[in-house]
Structure 1
Amino acid sequence: MRKAVIIVAGGSGSRMKSDIPKQFLLLKGEPILMHTIRAFHNFDDEIKVVLVLPSTQVSYWQQLCIDHSFKIEHTITEGGNTRFHSVQNGLKEISEPCLVGVHDGVRPLVSSGTLERCYAAAEINGNAIPVTDAIESIREIQNSTSVAVDRSVYKMVQTPQVFTSEILQEAYKQGFSELFTDDASVVEKLGKQIHLVDGNRENIKVTTPMDLKIGECLL
């Protein structure tokens, strides 16, 4: 089945203490977002890439593509007020049955192995999301105190979260809820079981100056 990915890139630079939106900050001399798109292109050079950006950032991105001679084909669509609405807009560009991943624009270090596992499992099960083990001790806040919990029953969730286009489009016909923290939670509201696959620890979300330094080291 053909593959597609909706890359959502609507962040600001507030936690980076930067006036430049974080997806455009340079990582090894190139905007983070370009590394992200290239990861999918290297995985499958026929994948359909839909990039969702705030309307105010589209022309800036287009100029960056010229400045960096970035020529990987992708479709640009404007984002919405929330991530939920941005994905809804991205789905309008998916017109044929396919496997659709939804990915954070600031996760440039997703591995080909993670992508392969996500898309392969989604083709079999209808959906797949990458996760890693929780390696820190975890405590749950209960009223005015906290209690230790068993970290082995918790997973850390990454992207891309991959679904058949039929399931994802049906899920995003639902009304918005504050409980929708990711695409899996939207699909889960339909009563679908979510299937987990192994992610890769390097697949960090670059949101702080420390993340940027870690990303540079990993690249």
Structure 2
Amino acid sequence: MSSRSKIAIIVAGGSGQRMGSTVPKQFLELAGKPVLYHTIAAFLAAYEDMHIILVLPEAHKASVATVLTAFDRPPSITLVDGGETRFHSVLNGLKLIKQDAVIFVHDGVRPLVSPALIRTCYEQALAKGSAIPAIALKDSIREVDDEGNMAADRTRFRIIQTPQTFLSEILLPAFDQPYDPLFTDEATVVERFGEEVNLVEGEEQNIKITKPQDLVIAAAFLHQGL
């Protein structure tokens, strides 16, 4: 299996509103360092030749310095302005990619992704074109509509995580499509383009930091060395 350029587009567009914080959640402290530090560090630990494209609002660019100073050796990072939606933010990052590559698109506020999962996604993307981490539901679920609600078979559903990983020749043309509000993630864009989406087993600890209690959970996972 040949090696390819590895590019991680890390989307860090959160404002911190749901955290009840004036500090955007990607810059909040987790185990003594910003959340975003842990996210970037995982990708650099997975592959030394990983290039990082960090997509974030113009107003947050000054805060990136606090993230970079947490590294012993500042990594190579390209900063890109965020867009109106996640789709447009990712598109801004993709515009910089001119070579064949494996492209990872990851939430900046998923700091506990493991280097092992990143490597699994890379290898599956090389083999099958895409790799989308997903985990099974543990809770019972019900489908709700205007008529009422009914039990649903949870074994038929998966919770989707990031990094959503693709060969550049699949992801770049897919993002040439016009924007649709139904594009909730990269997988939906690629699927609309007619490409198959391949799932890989995600990780329970690969949580998204959106609420204050998520930071507590993340700190516990880190403390356990997970």
Same fold (TM over 0.5): yes
Deviation at 1:117, TM superposition (A): 1.6
- Out of 157, 160, 179, the residue aligned to residue 157 of structure 1 is 160
The answer to whether structure 1 residue 208 and structure 2 residue 211 are counterparts is yes
State how 1:34-183 maps to structure 2 within 5 Å: 34-66=37-69, 71-183=74-186
Structure 1 211/77 Cα, relative in aligned 2: closer, same or farther at 3 Å?
Answer: same
SS at match of 1:156: strand
Contact 2:36-2:67 within 8 A present in 1 as well = no
Deviation at 1:38, TM superposition (A): 0.2
Contact 2:27-2:63 within 8 A present in 1 as well = no
- Out of 31, 34, 45, the residue aligned to residue 31 of structure 1 is 34
Contact 2:133-2:162 within 8 A present in 1 as well = yes
Deviation at 1:213, TM superposition (A): 0.2
Deviation at 1:177, TM superposition (A): 0.6
Structure 1: stretches of 5+ with no match in the other structure? none
Deviation at 1:61, TM superposition (A): 1.5
Q: Which letter maps to 1:110?
A: V
Q: Deviations over 1:34-61 (max 9, x none)?
A: 1000000000011111100101111222
SS at match of 1:148: strand
- Out of 10, 15, 28, the residue aligned to residue 18 of structure 2 is 15
SS at match of 2:109: coil
Q: Which letter maps to 2:185?
A: D
Count of residue correspondences: 219
Point out 4+ residue stretches in structure 1 off by more than 2 angstroms.
Answer: 62-70
Structure 2: stretches of 5+ with no match in the other structure? none
Q: Deviations over 1:139-189 (max 9, x none)?
A: 000324110011001001000000011111101111111100100000001
CA distance in 2, matches of 1:199, 1:16: 25
RMSD (Å) for aligned C-alpha atoms: 1.3
Structure 1 169/209 Cα, relative in aligned 2: closer, same or farther at 3 Å?
Answer: same
Deviation at 1:112, TM superposition (A): 2.1
- Out of 9, 14, 18, the residue aligned to residue 6 of structure 1 is 9
Q: Which letter maps to 2:132?
A: I
Q: Which letter maps to 1:114?
A: L
Deviation at 1:208, TM superposition (A): 0.5
Contact 2:170-2:195 within 8 A present in 1 as well = no
Deviation at 1:3, TM superposition (A): 1.2
Q: Deviations over 1:4-53 (max 9, x none)?
A: 11000000111100000010000011110010000000000111111001
Q: Which letter maps to 2:99?
A: E
SS at match of 2:214: helix
Deviation at 1:67, TM superposition (A): 6.8
